[in-house]
Amino acid sequence: MPKKKTFVLTKKLQHVAFIMDGNGRWANLRGLPRHLGHREAMNRIMEIFETCREFNIYCMSFYAFSTENWNRPQDEIDHLMDYLEEWFAKEIDYLDSVGARLQISGDIARLRDSTRNACIAAYERTKNNNAIVVNVCLNYGGRDDIVRACRAIAQEAKEGKVDIDAIDEPYFGEHLYTHGLPDVDLMIRTSGEQRLSNYLLWQNAYAEFVFTPVKWPDFKRKAFIDCLEEFQNRNRRYGGLKNE
Ligand code: IPE
Ligand code: IPE
Ligand code: MG
C-alpha cells in the first residue's frame, strides 16, 4: 500500500488566498455546461477549509466573483449567485459550530437581494467567532478596494477626524475590506493562469505566489499540500537578507 504522505508545516502561514479558477474549462472538457463547473467548484471549498484547519492556518480568502465578472453572460452570473447562496445555506451551521467567522470583501450593494441577504446573515451570525476566518471576495476588485479606502480617508480628513501625517500603511489597511486580517502569505491560483486578475492588490504585496495547473474542481487536499510544500521551500526575505 502506498504510504500516506505526511507533511508538517513549519513556516509561519496566517493567510492563504485562493483564485478558484478553471471551473468553466473543467466542465467544457467533460462536455458539460460551464455552470456545472461552477457548481462543482463550491464542493471543493470545505475540503480546503478543513485542510487549513488541520495546518492551523488562521485565515483563508476565496475569490468568488470579481468586479470584472459582470462582463459574463447574465445566465452564468445567475448560476454563480445561485450556487453561492446554496453554499451559504448548506455550510453556515457547520462553519459557525467550529468558530469560523465569515467576512465578505467586496461591494455587496450591487448584488441581487437574495445573495446580499445571504452574505449579511452569514456575517451577522458569525461575527463574534474567532477561531478561523473565511473571507469571501464577492464583487471584489483590488482597485475598487483601494479607491474606496482613499475616499473614506479623504472624507475623514475633510471632517478633521484624521491628521494627514497620521495616514500610514496600517491606517490605510484598516480602511480596506480586509480590515483586521493579516496580509496574505500565500496566494494560490489554479488552472495555470499566471495573473492576479485584480485580486487583493494591497494585501498581496509580499505574498508568495503559487500557480498550479490543476483546475479548481480537481483541487483537493493533496494538491493543496503540494502548494504548501512549495511555499515552505520559498525564501521570504522581505527586502532583507534573512530567510524567514
Ligand atoms: C472561476 O472560474 C470562477 C469565476 C470567475 C466566478 P471560471 O469561470 O473563470 O473558469 P474558466 O477560467 O473559464 O475555466
Ligand atoms: C478571476 O478569474 C476571478 C475569480 C476567480 C472569481 P477570471 O477567470 O475572472 O479571471 P481572468 O478573466 O482569466 O483574468
Ligand atoms: Mg477563469
Ligand 1 atom 8: residue of nearest CA: 24
What is the CATH T-level fold of the domain 15-141+181-230, as seen in this structure? Undecaprenyl pyrophosphate synthetase (3.40.1180)
Which residues sit opposite 188 in a β-bridge? 18, 210
Q: Is the CB of 63 under 6 A from ligand 1?
A: no
What pLDDT is attached to residue 2? 64
Residue in 99, 147, 145, 160 with CA at minimum distance from that of residue 125: 99
135 pLDDT more than 80: yes
| Ligand showing the shortest atom-to-Cα distance for residue 32 | 1
Residue 21 appears among annotated catalytic residues: yes
Surrounding ion ligand 3 within 5 Å at CB are 21
- Ligand 2 atom having least distance to the Cα of 20: 5
What pLDDT is attached to residue 226? 98
Residue 78 appears among annotated catalytic residues: no
Q: What is the enclosing helix (H) or strand (E) of 136?
A: strand 132-140
- Please give the distance, rounded to the nearest whole angstrom, from the Cα atom of residue 141 to the centre of ligand 3: 15
**Predicted confidence band at 17 (pLDDT cuts at 50, 70, 90)?**
very high
* Cα–Cα separations (whole angstroms), residue 7 to 10, 16, 223, 232, 235: 9, 17, 12, 10, 18
pLDDT per position as a tens digit, 144-176: 999 999 999 999 999 999 999 999 999 999 999
Pocket of ligand 2 (CB under 6 A): 19-21, 63-66, 69, 193, 195, 197
Where exactly are the structural domains of the chain? 15-141+181-230
The secondary structure of residue 108, as a DSSP letter, is G
244 pLDDT more than 80: no
* Cα–Cα separations (whole angstroms), residue 53 to 8, 86, 133: 13, 23, 10
- Please give the distance, rounded to the nearest whole angstrom, from the Cα atom of residue 26 to the centre of ligand 2: 14
pLDDT per position as a tens digit, 57-107: 999 999 999 999 999 999 999 999 999 999 999 999 999 999 999 999 999
Classified as helix, coil or strand, 198 is coil
- Please give the distance, rounded to the nearest whole angstrom, from the Cα atom of residue 62 to the centre of ligand 1: 13
C-alpha span between 145 and 106 (Å, rounded): 7
Using an 8 Å Cβ cutoff, are 141 and 66 in contact? yes
Average confidence score pLDDT of the chain: 97
CB atoms within 10 A of CB 93: 9
**Predicted confidence band at 196 (pLDDT cuts at 50, 70, 90)?**
very high
C-alpha span between 225 and 4 (Å, rounded): 12
